[in-house]
């Protein structure tokens, strides 16, 4: 069965022993496991990597199946699950287990994935997708965090932090904790301090590249590429940042179709778009049709 991430509280009442968490939002997965599986849990937590269960599936099965009168309950978490472990997963769930919950944690799985199809179709299995979050949701989390810790920070500076997180709640929490630890004895933070802390000069360069690419400013894109050297880590950041920008563009297109007023659609967007970015954003909205930008998102 499928449980949407916004209905995670339903997990508490499910009798299932097997769960599939898939998607890129590792932070929300962490929160779900902590809140609905580990909070007030007195038993044993066991973690495996997929490579470990492939190398020695009998050891993994022993952990899942063995029963003892003196044994506490267990939560078993399998990380980095892929299609390679499909047969092992299928064999495992063919038998009943007691006093145990098994969570298979995977990155993005397409609709043809055998593991995803297995968990979606069977009523006694639970499949939960964890997609990257919109900036609006992350903004609410960040605002609440800084209010609770009595740190004065502008919306513009919160947006700087969010742009650095690629839609992942875990990345956001890491950045917020970094700021909290650094400014333990202060109650106010400015833009220059944030930029220095989260290494945003490089990221701003990435977003300049992406924004000009979406605006089809070919000469500017070529100049940015020629003036920089990107390694593998940079490439991953660029791709994830590209996804963030495309999702923003999709929402802007939707708002524009509803309002028929581009300025109103941009001014009403949350989190707010900086004034210096409005011209290039207008160009992006003009260039891309809703159909083409959704196709682009799938391709990226």
Question: What are the beta bridge partners of residue 28?
Answer: none
* Average pLDDT across the chain, whole number: 85
101 phi and psi angles, rounded to 5 deg: -125, 130
Instruction: Output the pLDDT for position 274.
Output: 79
Q: Give the pLDDT of residue 68.
A: 61
pLDDT tens-place string over residues 76-122 = 999 989 888 899 999 998 888 888 899 999 988 888 899 999 999 98
Q: How far apart (Å, rounded) are the C-alpha atoms in residues 139 and 197?
A: 18
Find out whether 165 and 240 touch, Cβ atoms under 8 Å. no
The winner for highest mean pLDDT among 30-39, 66-75, 227-236 is 30-39
Q: pTM value?
A: 0.56
């Amino acid at each position: 069965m499928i449980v949407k991430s916004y209905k995670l509280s339903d997990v508490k009442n499910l009798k299932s022993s097997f769960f599939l968490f898939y998607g890129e939002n590792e932070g929300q997965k962490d929160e779900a496991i902590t809140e609905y599986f580990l909070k007030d849990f007195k038993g044993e937590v066991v973690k495996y990597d997929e490579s470990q269960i492939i190398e020695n599936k009998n050891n993994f099965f022993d952990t899942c199946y063995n029963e003892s009168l003196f044994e506490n309950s267990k939560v078993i978490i399998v990380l980095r699950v892929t299609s390679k472990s499909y047969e092992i997963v299928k064999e495992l769930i063919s038998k009943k287990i007691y006093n145990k919950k098994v969570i298979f944690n995977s990155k993005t799985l397409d609709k043809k994935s055998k593991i995803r199809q297995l968990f979606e179709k069977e009523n006694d299995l639970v499949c939960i997708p964890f997609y990257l979050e919109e900036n609006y949701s992350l903004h609410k989390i960040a605002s609440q965090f800084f209010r609770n810790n009595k740190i004065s920070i502008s919306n513009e500076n919160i947006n700087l932090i969010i742009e650095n997180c690629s839609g992942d709640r875990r990345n956001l929490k890491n950045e917020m904790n970094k700021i909290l630890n650094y400014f333990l004895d202060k109650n106010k933070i400015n833009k220059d301090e944030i930029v220095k802390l989260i290494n945003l000069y490089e990221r701003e360069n990435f977003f300049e590249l992406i924004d000009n690419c979406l605006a089809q400013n070919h000469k500017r894109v070529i100049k940015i590429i020629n003036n920089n050297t990107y390694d593998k880590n940079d490439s991953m950041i660029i791709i994830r940042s590209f996804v963030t920008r495309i999702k923003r563009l999709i929402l802007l297109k939707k708002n524009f179709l509803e309002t028929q007023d581009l300025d109103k659609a941009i001014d009403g967007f949350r989190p707010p778009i900086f004034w210096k970015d409005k011209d290039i954003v207008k160009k992006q909205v003009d260039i891309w049709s809703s159909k083409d930008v959704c196709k682009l998102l799938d391709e990226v």
